[in-house]
Structure 1
């Protein structure tokens, strides 16, 4: 299942997304974690040093490789150069799977061991560099994430967790429709819930499952404020955490020592994601992908590539869990002689 964390800058979305990733890994779930924020902090929140985080490969720098691999033998795509961030898969396209090894993961991902012996696969868009100033926008980098999500087939016990760029910038592309659930992290303040209102309005017509996660909650008054402002969209709240404070100092304790109330809140996030995935409409999921591709093609894609990108759409193709290769059965236990 695919999960996004969004919120106002400083709301704590990166911290909560890293806690959720640790929670999933501790439960032995396969996880691909993606840092798609312009401020690349997810690696550090998962325990990397600043130097190690800076050395992560950038998805945006490997876009030609990603396109060439995903294109596969799809006859509707004449070349990797004709692919844009919204190009949908079709017959012959190569699809990504959570647990496999492939050239995209080899070039763009790193297996990150966590403190408790668990590990996750981490990918990062890459930072906005000095060479980008005045000539590029960050969404050109995030486009690599969108292309991968469009070609990724996930199962019910597998997770992609994306730490999105802050605010409502997520709506600069169709990527906001790629998730089974979007967790919007909000502080109990007027500014904290302003992004929620904006996100709710933009996502209204696209069937986006939006759940508010209250953060930095100090007491009943904060919870009451969030309930008044966001209503039934409020899923759970997080309070003060000595464990998180230690993590932010670079000295986290064992994850199992995270406060019981916060562990229960993380389980509530997982339960919500699983429930949403169980109701995923694969046909609509694919149709939305095509919808945004056609919009981008008409707006700028056709002019940029010099081809009619509408011809890339395979009308008979539906992305579906059935396309996931079954996992090999475990080897039988040896029998006594």
Structure 2
């Protein structure tokens, strides 16, 4: 299953993404964690120190190698450089497996039992030249070519706010956890997400965070209704982790919330045909946004109408 953590900046989505990754690995489940946030904090949230986290190779800096590997012998793609973030796999493409022995996962770092991939930070060299989607495009390509099996998980910490919807990346997930604080600003993002996702068959559920009592829960229920799946209360264990202290057990209620989240993910039905269809749809959108007719034709040729994901 492919899972995204989204929400307003400061809502605690990175913290909850890290808690969920730890919850999965504690159960011995195979997990790939991906930091796709412009503020790269997932590695530290998972327990790495800043110096080691900074040394993890960035997917955004390795796009030529990633494209070359994924293209394989797919004759519809004229060259690796012709691949764009939405390019779907076709006959001859190399598909990926969770934690597989391939050049993409080789860029990852083992952290707390998970393989961590990072897009890399927005650097001074990017200022005025590119947007962060040039880096998250590597994640979209990765997910397009990843065949995750039963009991395997990919957990992506997305960039904050509605910027999640600035590309087709939001359709690459089986479930999106929208982390919301019990505030007006916290729930405003929910309304945005619901509106943007309405026409694209994207599953979104709300996880309340920083809950201090029944009034906060009641507020979230009033604002987001049945979309509220569960909630995480203010936690001494989380604060200890954020301070670099270990050995403080997570509260039983918060542990139960993580169990609810895992159950919600496992209840999703894998629909590879929809996954392929959405990939093609957003690739065509990307192609037809170009002004150069030759570029449009080049990208349209990349679609293999006979390709199906192995199931």
Deviation sequence 1:118-175 (CA, Å, 0-9, x none): x110000000001101111001100000000000000120000000000010111101
2:130 aligns with one of 108, 116, 136: 136
CA RMSD of aligned residues (A): 1.3
Q: 2:260 aligned with 1:268, yes or no?
A: yes
SS in 1 for 2:24: helix
DSSP-derived class of the 1:208 partner: coil
Asked whether the equivalents of residues 82 and 307 of structure 1 are also in contact (C-alpha less than 8 Å), the reply is: no
Change (3 A) 1:303 1:14: farther
The alignment covers a number of residue pairs equal to 311
Kept in 2: contact 1:301–1:309 (CA 8 A):
no
Corresponding residue of 2:110: 111
Structure 1 pair 260/75, CA: closer, same or farther in 2 (3 Å)? same
Q: String of CA shifts for 1:254-282, please: whole Å, max 9, x gaps.
A: 6xx21111111001110000111xx2322
- Superposed, 1:1-337 pairs within 5 Å as 1-106=1-106, 108-112=107-111, 114=112, 119-253=113-247, 257-276=249-268, 279-300=269-290, 308-320=298-310, 322=311
The structure-2 alpha-carbon separation of the partners of 1:262 and 1:120, relative to structure 1 and needing over 3 Å to count, comes to same
Of the structure 1 ranges 175-184 and 298-307, higher mean CA displacement relative to structure 2 is found in 298-307
Please give the alpha-carbon distance, in whole angstroms, between the structure 2 residues aligned to 1:18 and 1:269. Answer: 13
The answer to whether the 8 A contact 1:32-1:98 is kept is yes
Query: Who is 1:325 aligned against?
Result: none
Q: Secondary structure at the match of 2:114?
A: strand
Residues 306/293 of structure 1: CA separation in 2 closer, same or farther (3 Å cut): closer
Q: 1:326 maps to what in 2?
A: none
Q: CA deviation at 1:53?
A: 1.2
Measure how far apart 1:81 and its partner are. 1.0
State the structure with more CA Rg. 1
The question of whether the paired residues in 2 share the 8 Å contact of 1:7 and 1:167 is answered with yes
Give 5+ residue unaligned stretches, structure 1.
Answer: 323-337
C-alpha distance in structure 2 between counterparts of 1:287 and 1:195, whole Å: 27
Per the normalisation by structure 2, the TM-score is: 0.97
> What SS does structure 2 have at the residue aligned with 1:9?
coil
Contact 1:24/1:31 (8 A) holds in 2: yes
TM-score for the superposition, normalised by structure 1: 0.90
Shift of 1:252: 2.1
